[in-house]
Amino acid sequence: MLTVKNLMVFYENALAINDLSLKVGEGEIVGVIGSNSAGKSTLLNTIAGLTLDLKIKERRKGGERITLMGEIRYLGEDIVDMLAVHRVKRGIVLCRERHPIFPESDVMENLRIAAYLHPKAHFRKMADYTFDLFPQLKKYRRKRAGFLSGGEQQMLAIGMALVAGPKLLLLDEPLLGLSPAMQTRLVGAIKDIRATLGITIVISEQFARPVLPMIDRGYVIENGMLVLAGTGRELMENPEVKSAYFGV
């Protein structure tokens, strides 16, 4: 479904992604594991088209220079120069880190905003699925999103990504800052999204322990470079991964 080949991203003279290649097969859950500032968010933002959009905006202002090199192919199509809005229309949807929601709007309004590209029937179907997936959101459907807890806001952010109609769902650190119990609930929800909807998922995380058991394959990146790749089980049993991410 997705192939990233020899991707490089520069912010001025800083190298954020360094000659990185990866593949995501249809129906897979693929993990991107790395410490803070390893390049995970830059990678997902680049796949989603946000880095390209930022490059265009900065070029118009004569400000920060961003350089993109390499290849991104989605469903056989080269999308490296495709704007983010067109990638969303083709089914690439990013759920950004730290649950970006509209705090002044209620839960239902947030979901409606995210579904603007789709007919009402799609919205109703995916909103119902979101409430089945996260039952506690249903009782807060008329509550302002800014008054939800961090975990509830993350659930809403994932629901917003789902109503946007993804074929490829990019989850950027969805477990960040959440309690172990909430992390477990979200991991179960991510598994259900793949099993029930058949959506292909790429999840980036620095918390490797809850992520590795559910992924089909994973990539470990450091300083924007790929350092390890393998199945979830292979990475869990790798002594370097245990030392760096499990404290073993």
Strand intervals (E) in the chain: 2-11, 14-24, 29-33, 66-74, 77-78, 92-95, 168-172, 200-205, 217-222, 225-231
Q: How many CB atoms lie within 10 A of CB 69?
A: 12
pLDDT digits (tens, 9 = 90+) for 214-239: 999 999 999 999 999 999 999 999 88
Token duo for residue 149: 């807890």
Give the C-alpha separation, 217 to 212, whole Å: 8
The model's pLDDT over 146-168, given as tens digits with 9 standing for 90+, comes to: 999 999 999 999 999 999 999 99
Tokens 């470079």 belong to which residue? 225
Encode pLDDT of 16-56 as tens digits.
Answer: 999 999 999 999 999 999 988 899 999 999 999 999 999 98
Cα separation, 138 vs 224, in Å, equals 39
Task: Give me 18's structure tokens.
Answer: 């360094």
pLDDT in tens, 107-150: 999 999 999 989 999 999 999 999 999 998 999 999 999 999 99
User: Who wins on pLDDT, 246 or 95?
Assistant: 95
Return the SS3 of 202.
Answer: strand
Retrieve residue 79's tokens. Answer: 């999308």
- pLDDT tops 80 at residue 98: no
State whether residue 153 is helix, strand or coil. Answer: helix
Is 229 within 8 Å of 14 (Cβ atoms)?
Answer: no
pLDDT of residue 244: 81
What per-residue confidence (pLDDT) applies to 176? 87
> Tens of pLDDT along 62-76?
766 889 999 999 999
In this prediction, residue 91 carries a pLDDT of 96
**b (16+ CB within 10 A) / e for 12-26:** eeebbbbebebebee
> What is the average pLDDT value for the chain, to the nearest integer?
92
Give the pLDDT confidence score for residue 80 in this predicted structure.
94
Distances (CA, A) of 194 to 84, 105, 169: 23, 28, 10
User: Residue 63 has what pLDDT?
Assistant: 67
pLDDT of 165? 94
pLDDT given at position 6: 97
Higher pLDDT, 174 or 244: 174
Has residue 247 got a pLDDT over 70? Answer: no
- Both tokens of 218, joined, read 């994973």
- Residue 248: pLDDT over 60: no
